[in-house]
Copies of this chain bind each other. A is one copy, B any other.
Amino acid sequence: MTAPSLPATFAEIHRLIESLPEADDAAAATARAREAQLTKPAGSLGRLEEIAEWMAAWQGRHPPTVDHPRVSVFAGNHGVVARGVSAYPAEVTRQMVANFIAGGAAVNQLCKVMDADLRVYEMALDQPTHDFTVEPAMSEEECVRAMAYGMMAVEPGVDLLCLGEMGIGNTAAAAALCLALFDGKAEDWTGPGTGVIGAALANKCRVVAAGVERHKAVRRDPLALLQCLGGQEIAALAGAIIAARLARVPVLLDGFVVGAAAAVLHVLKPGLLDHCLVAHCSAEPGHGKLCALLGKRPLVELGMRLGEGSGAALAIGIVKAAVACHTGMATFAEAGVSGKSGE
């Protein structure tokens, strides 16, 4: 693949999106044909069979591989934290980045278990976005630059990309994005995040509603909403999803914040997330509803709500299992196993 020149405007992102590859039907058909010959009743591996076919379709080759899974975590800070939307102070974003680098966070342990590598991307943590209740979180230029930064994170050799994030205040930004993209009430999309409850949660709902109201003029323009309500790490996630499609790398989406970044693209162009699976259903209350609107059934539901790519990293094991069964199992003929009676 020749690296595309990075976009500098929303118009260039729109053009880029029109040129993205579709699923490889031939690779998918080869996968389906092999599945039918493997030593098991048809369909008995359930979603593992679908995942193997999906991996072939989006990698554009058969057999698919999961030899180099990567977890990419984007970190950003949010001006809206000044409105009291988080249970933790903004400096925790940088402290957690240091924890990722030192190997002490949950995602580090999960990457070890899944034999995945981890990259952490700091998005100018000392320059938080603006408070979206007052002005756009970013300029168009800042938003596109963040998207382009996310695009560069898709490197050659990676065959499965797991996306995660860290950013004190970013569930408020994600809730505002979802509310603006899909309507409803602020309460439908606003949850505790790191642990906001009671009066603080009611305040968070008001902040989310105020942000969406403030930027209602761009309500029909997903990229403008990303700029006005999102964050640097959220824009980078959207960029990474686009770049992964271009590079034929299937994507595992983590929880609510990554889902909001993906939702921008879903609204922008139907099918733009077909190369993505939702790894897990977060306990953050908006995420289940968001998954339904994206038409995605999460792979696991374990009540996790940590972010930092933890759910996506966990789900690597399921994708590895699917690909290993698909590529490693014997066929009925190879194993000398009888087929169904009467066949």
Contacts and interface: CB of A to CB of B under 8 A. Distances in A.
A270 interface: no
A91 B95 CA distance: 61
B303 A47 contact: yes
Contacts of A114: 317, 321
A198 to B, nearest CB: 13
B329 A105 contact: yes
A334 B314 CA distance: 24
Contacts of A95: 335-338
A102 B330 contact: yes
A268 interface: no
Interface residues of A, number: 62
A23 interface: no
A108 interface: yes
B46 A88 contact: no
Interface string A264-305: 000000000000000000010000000000000001111111
A96 B324 contact: no
B39 A105 contact: yes
Contacts of A38: 106
A68 interface: no
B330 A46 contact: no
A89 B301 CA distance: 37
Contact of A109 (B96, B321, B338): B321
A189 B44 CA distance: 18
Interface in A327-343: 327-330, 334-341
Interface string A98-125: 1100101110111011100000000000
Contact of A99 (B108, B302, B337): B337
A317 B113 contact: yes
A310 B86 CA distance: 42
A30 interface: no
**Which 6 A-B pairs rank lowest in CB-CB distance, beginning with the nearest?**
A104-B330, A46-B303, A317-B317, A109-B324, A109-B328, A44-B306
27 contacts: A39-B104, A40-B306, A41-B87, A41-B88, A44-B194, A45-B306, A46-B302, A46-B303, A47-B303, A48-B304, A48-B314, A88-B338, A88-B339, A95-B337, A102-B330, A104-B328, A104-B330, A104-B334, A106-B325, A108-B329, A109-B324, A109-B329, A112-B324, A113-B321, A114-B321, A299-B300, A300-B300
Interface of A: 38-48, 86-89, 91-92, 95-96, 98-99, 102, 104-106, 108-110, 112-114, 194-195, 283, 299-306, 310, 314, 317-318, 320-321, 324-325, 327-330, 334-341
Given A99-B337, A109-B325, A299-B300, 4 more contacts: A38-B106, A46-B305, A48-B302, A113-B324
